[in-house]
Structure 1
């Protein structure tokens, strides 16, 4: 049997043909890289099947291709589109509330097929988050490629003078960084394109391990990107002359060519500013800007509109009409021709990005014989060191940027050397064949000894102790309300004949304390207890916790490390008494409720590299538990271990801190007197917000949970 591989790339605008590169900030080089990697892997004899999971989109504003649930790429590769979040297309920063739904769907899909992939490869932070959840639940190896990183983006945006609150509002940067930390803590292997990424960018993350990283530069499709003799360019040149002629007075000037998305990070306005300030550059060169396709700039997203507005204003400010081209439309198949057209005119490729994780366009340009002047940040350093086909410049220093461009365009002999160097080096170092061969060899070397957990899919087949339907109630909060107890007592009394429906208890207490408190309530005995804030699972009257759950959550747990790193927060936190502590739980009491404490503690833990996560309950109670443990994860462990569908799990949630129980495919009831922090979850699909005193009863009726099979 060959390798079975699963890739995650979530934003949705990806298909097997005619990629809409540059459509918006989510359709850049990552999209092309992922598709080419999947195609390259599918062509290898070692590979039996490759699946690429992305989001299913039903939206008249985008192609109907993105609403096709399954799309064949080749005989053994396909795109699988799963619905999560709104049906319409939305930018990736708005997808965070819906990622738990996708993780649940992927786990259920793999569980039903009972045909696990050899590894999961997650691309970008959102897929890293989903991949981490799927990996921990099924015990599958996880490979992570960030493509670009939140900490680096935050650093660059702050340096550019953008307000932190604005960055948070636009990019959900804290969620992204937390997701990257989670992905790094679960990843068995991290793939980067350059050493700079690992040494300077990933190294800023507390859960980054240098032992888990491999550098594999991406490849270039040399069937599309190649250099040809200028005499064979006539047809391509004539077509492109028609595209650029409306903008340019003199088509024969060597062009400065930039190809990128119209986003702030790509720093295109700085290139125009530099060109506008230099009479030498204006006399010597045209400026060609390929910034994606647009019908009407007013219909672009806010960031793109702002970038184009800057472009228009700078062209006007420096009176660059006749010298700058920024066509509204181009075809993807024209991109190689544009590089060759620029090379034929002895031009230069320019990448002015503030940060460039790799720079696939640099390789494409080099393969077509076009030398470059590029940002000295990130991947271009590695490319220039191997290709020796241009200059690195500090694009944040406009004088240095200008000097680099003027120098690079002043020596025809050096231009020819650079052109030849680029063509030869890309063929030798950066072909797709080399990339895919390195990729598979590394995967097999690093991941071959990893296997799914042996409890997965209920393979230990005693009769299930948790029934076919399960209702979870919170012993610490919800069951304190007396009117709710009578409703539940009566409901279970009426349905005592139905042994398929069981009760589960959620609590932060020990099993001993939980049973003592529960005995006062006079409800049916629970089938399962999730105790100590999700770190222990007990069945019925058993006194020993589930050893498989313990084994799966205790990876790298360091209780003393947690207490040490939070010790100097004693002005805000105090340790709870010994009886409220657990073997895998450190419990604190806040001295004053504060929204700032959770992100502060999370930051402390991640910066210290501790595999632990904080959970704040009822605004006062802070529990630190192993990274892989939580009440929500314990529920998913139970469904996997005993073969129970998540849709048949109902959770009653009411307090601050219960959001984790509501996300995903479980069913939730939220009583009318719930904590206001849960109101933001009304967009979740399987949640019932009650408006009356009998909230639980109304919810049970709404979901027809007691309906006989």
Structure 2
């Protein structure tokens, strides 16, 4: 709560009170309670659930009490409460200090280990970039194709020369809030704020740049009855910016568009905290949209036979960043991220206020948000920030970003030295741009006098002026929400207590729109009431304007009015992440006073159009305002500086820097050439994948060429036979890589799977192999003839085949097999007739190149081995007692480890944290009842493998039904959500529930358990499964 004068008043009252209250003089309430300990009662009972507003209310009641005895009793009780506040504050500070110290120690240890791994000297090139440099990072393997150190202007010009014929396609994502191109309802709720305006204007500005053909801004389609129908329109074309670009080519699909994707609860507008479980559905629908748009753009502007892939996918805020990471992985295109507001920073601030972590997480889903932001650091090529403060003080809190390590890695990149599989995203500061087309450039002259006194005054001027007894005085303008963080109460106090300032100026507070204060949130209402009381206290009637309503189109006119009166704009926020209003004020020739905390420092450095103040120093605020309104020469100088330098914050400047940064990325896109399926005969019996002979991997199962000797028990110890099988697998893949693979034959067979009416994906993680086989047989028994099957598992391909054979099943019963937790994808083929001991599986030749992004390989393996040894040393165990490498189960893109003691294994989140601190990007999966640990590429998973089938082969995800158990491997949650149908088989589960319980956030923050696409089968029986499918609208033919 802002304004704590009541605390001083309270303390003075305590000092003036009588020394104590004996039993004879105690209040009736205390005497009736008998033996009573006020300290114990107020520490254990009263404090529970209190906040500062309640405390203030209690003080008001105590001060208003007439009876001295009761007043003193209440003051004593309040004393205990405030004492406990101080006590709790000390505890919070202690916890914060311990947490910061632990983070520092972990980082120092990681830095030492990385330095030890890197034998190269870091003495040169570790300094921060000089202005204009655009050094870049990659996956650490090499620097081939990287741009030299040149200015952003040079980069943009070179990039434009190379790409203007390519007509780029850019995808932006901003999920929450209400987004439309015109008449934005900014301030309607906490989700519809500055971010909405920023992403719309960014899309419009990018589409006006040379070389950019189309920009899509993806958001949520909202059809709720309490919002305007415009938010339910699937597509909205944005009006182009006024631009001098004459080289821009306009085609049928060119320009900027808001594309609204339906996902989440229908007919309901929900806050961003409730959107998390529905992100997989958005990803699937957005993926389908991008695929169709890319194909349409290729037909329009491409060379034909392929697709115009997005040059980047840019997520805004954590929810859209999480979506962008998954889309980037599915499409294998670069990702860009802008946080806008960061979860770890918010968590730190709330913890410092003494709020319990559980309460914070329940209200804000903060841990889910933080994990999404960590994933963004894993997947992003570039992270765009508004200020250096955001990098140094906010991103520095994350496991996945270490500025010291980032400089070391960047230094190695510049020198052409391998980074050993380590990666840090490139942090770049690009201040938001601003539209100037609505600003009248010569509204007032250099001295602030009106050049066109005959022009009619806008209606909002009279709405403000009616508050003032002398409207000709300079206007001090503040434009912000009535939020305690905006520090408006201190501003009113500074104005009210400075008589010279009150005599020289008026104060205008634009604090959003309201009808009734009682209808506002408690926090906003509290700020407004405090301001009204201060107006009354200092008798500021006729000197302060607080209009209840204004439109977005009125804002430029409000700035003009302040400039016309030779006024000042002020942003006194305790901390301001950026400060777009300061740029708007400067564009209108209005000098500014701004907080020294956050983005305004960077803005002031560029514009030099005002003064910076400590927001906690009331006197400094009033002095700065008085100086600007009383010194005409200073006011004019600040105005001229702002108008002269404001072009540096224009959208064209922003987009030039933005596109130059995009140009510095290593461009990625799917590497295959699409083959048209329509030319194949849909009725040809040879279209089945199960008839492929000539591209089998020919993986032998035994040494003697006869019956397989692989143990079908997944929990059995691997022996030399397994090692030899691994060796044969590697040899077979090596041999195959030396041959020319006929991908056209795979393309010609794929339509069979594509034409399946339904595709059943069996992703059940069972405690025993026999249970898995029973599930497979039951599901197959239920399915119809037009149903295809995909087996999705954490086992290797040889283990999978052995398990199927042991249960009397054939590889040809499946169309595809996803192995090693999603790091391997195989299609099934007929076994060779002359050799029945081969494995009839064909590896997808494009899959590994699609998922290898930032894969650490051997360097990651060494770090994991070192981690295993540290865990064993910490627990004083012998080497190999907890984990050991499982070479037989490992592949080039899956590092497998045997877990011998699951109870001693640190939680998965701790291992992920360790890898991120080491700048190693990977996906960690505990599987097979905790007996195995699979480490795979960061954007690979079983759920992402299904999306690959859409991108590579055009398989419709909505035709899929995924079967899972009650629980499963630690990637289980990713299999539930999406556009596919999901059947949860009750009673079928692995023994990994405890490992799932170690996650940072509850399952409901990830999975939409109330989704109509998810249902349960009460048992793993034929009738139960068929009933569950019927609930999902899938009616199979009777047997």
Which TM bucket (shorter chain)?
0.7 to 0.9
Give the conservation status (yes or no) of the 8 Å contact 1:289–1:326: yes
Quote the residue 2:762 is aligned against: 473
Quote the residue 1:492 is aligned against: 780
Quote the residue 1:513 is aligned against: 799
1:534 to 801, 814, 822: 822
Give the conservation status (yes or no) of the 8 Å contact 2:817–2:827: yes
Instruction: Give a deviation string over 1:601-650, Cα, whole Å, max 9, x none.
Output: 33333333220233455885664432112111122223433321111222
Give the secondary-structure state (helix, strand or coil) at the position aligned to 1:7.
strand
Aligned residue runs from structure 1 range 224-303, under 5 A: 224-225=438-439, 226=441, 228-229=443-444, 230-231=449-450, 232=452, 239-245=459-465, 247-263=467-483, 265-272=485-492, 274-275=494-495, 278=498, 281-300=501-520, 302=521
| Structure 1 residues 340 and 431: alpha-carbon distance in aligned structure 2, compared to 1, 3 A threshold | same
2: distance between equivalents of 1:296 and 1:64?
26
2: distance between equivalents of 1:549 and 1:265?
49
**C-alpha deviation, 1:471, in angstroms:** 2.0
Give the secondary-structure state (helix, strand or coil) at the position aligned to 1:514.
helix
Give the secondary-structure state (helix, strand or coil) at the position aligned to 1:433.
helix
1: distance between equivalents of 2:803 and 2:928?
19
Give the conservation status (yes or no) of the 8 Å contact 1:260–1:292: yes
Instruction: Give a deviation string over 1:153-185, Cα, whole Å, max 9, x none.
Output: 334444455544343333322222222222233
1:561 to 839, 856, 863: 863
Give the secondary-structure state (helix, strand or coil) at the position aligned to 2:184.
coil
1:361 to 581, 592, 600: 581
Give the conservation status (yes or no) of the 8 Å contact 1:671–1:690: yes
| Structure 1 residues 556 and 267: alpha-carbon distance in aligned structure 2, compared to 1, 3 A threshold | farther
| Structure 1 residues 475 and 329: alpha-carbon distance in aligned structure 2, compared to 1, 3 A threshold | closer
Instruction: Give a deviation string over 1:175-232, Cα, whole Å, max 9, x none.
Output: 2222222223322333333344445444444445576344333322222234522423
Q: Does 1:597 align with 2:816?
A: no
Structural RMSD (CA): 3.6
1:609 to 919, 922, 936: 919
Give the conservation status (yes or no) of the 8 Å contact 1:510–1:580: no
Relative to structure 2, which stretch is displaced further, 121-130 or 414-423?
A: 121-130
Instruction: Give a deviation string over 1:539-559, Cα, whole Å, max 9, x none.
Output: 333467545333333333222
2: distance between equivalents of 1:172 and 1:581?
37
| Structure 1 residues 384 and 706: alpha-carbon distance in aligned structure 2, compared to 1, 3 A threshold | same
**C-alpha deviation, 1:383, in angstroms:** 1.3
Which protein is bigger by CA-based radius of gyration?
2
2: distance between equivalents of 1:27 and 1:493?
51
**C-alpha deviation, 1:245, in angstroms:** 4.4
Give the secondary-structure state (helix, strand or coil) at the position aligned to 2:759.
strand
Aligned residue runs from structure 1 range 624-639, under 5 A: 624-639=935-950
**C-alpha deviation, 1:385, in angstroms:** 0.8
Give the conservation status (yes or no) of the 8 Å contact 1:269–1:307: no
Aligned residue runs from structure 1 range 198-597, under 5 A: 198-208=391-401, 212-225=426-439, 226=441, 228-229=443-444, 230-231=449-450, 232=452, 239-245=459-465, 247-263=467-483, 265-272=485-492, 274-275=494-495, 278=498, 281-300=501-520, 302=521, 305-317=522-534, 319=537, 322=541, 323-398=543-618, 400-427=620-647, 429-443=648-662, 445-447=663-665, 449-454=667-672, 460=743, 461-464=747-750, 468=756, 469-474=758-763, 476-477=765-766, 489=777, 492-493=780-781, 498=785, 500-525=786-811, 526-540=814-828, 541-542=839-840, 545-554=843-852, 555-557=854-856, 558-564=860-866, 568-569=870-871, 574-575=882-883, 578=886, 582-583=890-891, 584-587=894-897, 589=899, 597=907
1: distance between equivalents of 2:611 and 2:348?
24
**C-alpha deviation, 1:595, in angstroms:** 13
**C-alpha deviation, 1:276, in angstroms:** 5.3
| Structure 1 residues 261 and 625: alpha-carbon distance in aligned structure 2, compared to 1, 3 A threshold | farther
Quote the residue 1:142 is aligned against: 335
Give the conservation status (yes or no) of the 8 Å contact 1:181–1:207: yes
Give the conservation status (yes or no) of the 8 Å contact 1:220–1:431: yes
Give the conservation status (yes or no) of the 8 Å contact 2:572–2:595: yes
1: distance between equivalents of 2:825 and 2:778?
27
Structure 2 gaps of 5+ residues are 1-164, 240-253, 298-308, 411-425, 678-742, 829-838, 876-880, 994-1001
Q: Does 1:686 align with 2:1013?
A: yes
| Structure 1 residues 346 and 509: alpha-carbon distance in aligned structure 2, compared to 1, 3 A threshold | same
Relative to structure 2, which stretch is displaced further, 406-415 or 71-80?
A: 406-415
Quote the residue 2:217 is aligned against: 52
Q: Does 1:193 align with 2:386?
A: yes
1: distance between equivalents of 2:955 and 2:768?
25
**C-alpha deviation, 1:280, in angstroms:** 5.4
2: distance between equivalents of 1:614 and 1:246?
64
* Equivalenced residues, count: 701
Give the conservation status (yes or no) of the 8 Å contact 1:288–1:326: yes
2:320 to 127, 148, 163: 127
2: distance between equivalents of 1:569 and 1:360?
48
**C-alpha deviation, 1:594, in angstroms:** 11
2: distance between equivalents of 1:329 and 1:595?
58
| Structure 1 residues 490 and 534: alpha-carbon distance in aligned structure 2, compared to 1, 3 A threshold | closer
2:1028 to 669, 691, 699: 699
1: distance between equivalents of 2:620 and 2:930?
54
Structure 1 gaps of 5+ residues are none
2:362 to 158, 165, 169: 169
Give the conservation status (yes or no) of the 8 Å contact 2:317–2:338: yes
Quote the residue 1:643 is aligned against: 954
Relative to structure 2, which stretch is displaced further, 193-202 or 76-85?
A: 193-202
| Structure 1 residues 261 and 112: alpha-carbon distance in aligned structure 2, compared to 1, 3 A threshold | same
Give the conservation status (yes or no) of the 8 Å contact 2:589–2:643: yes
Aligned residue runs from structure 1 range 89-108, under 5 A: 89-108=269-288
Relative to structure 2, which stretch is displaced further, 567-576 or 91-100?
A: 567-576
**C-alpha deviation, 1:504, in angstroms:** 2.5
Give the conservation status (yes or no) of the 8 Å contact 2:350–2:360: yes
Relative to structure 2, which stretch is displaced further, 130-139 or 580-589?
A: 580-589
| Structure 1 residues 163 and 375: alpha-carbon distance in aligned structure 2, compared to 1, 3 A threshold | farther
| TM-score, structure 2 as length reference | 0.62
Give the secondary-structure state (helix, strand or coil) at the position aligned to 1:144.
strand
Relative to structure 2, which stretch is displaced further, 381-390 or 406-415?
A: 406-415
Quote the residue 2:169 is aligned against: 4
Give the secondary-structure state (helix, strand or coil) at the position aligned to 1:519.
helix
Give the conservation status (yes or no) of the 8 Å contact 2:886–2:896: no
Quote the residue 1:37 is aligned against: 202
**C-alpha deviation, 1:437, in angstroms:** 3.7
Give the conservation status (yes or no) of the 8 Å contact 2:591–2:638: yes
Give the conservation status (yes or no) of the 8 Å contact 1:25–1:262: no
Give the conservation status (yes or no) of the 8 Å contact 2:958–2:981: yes
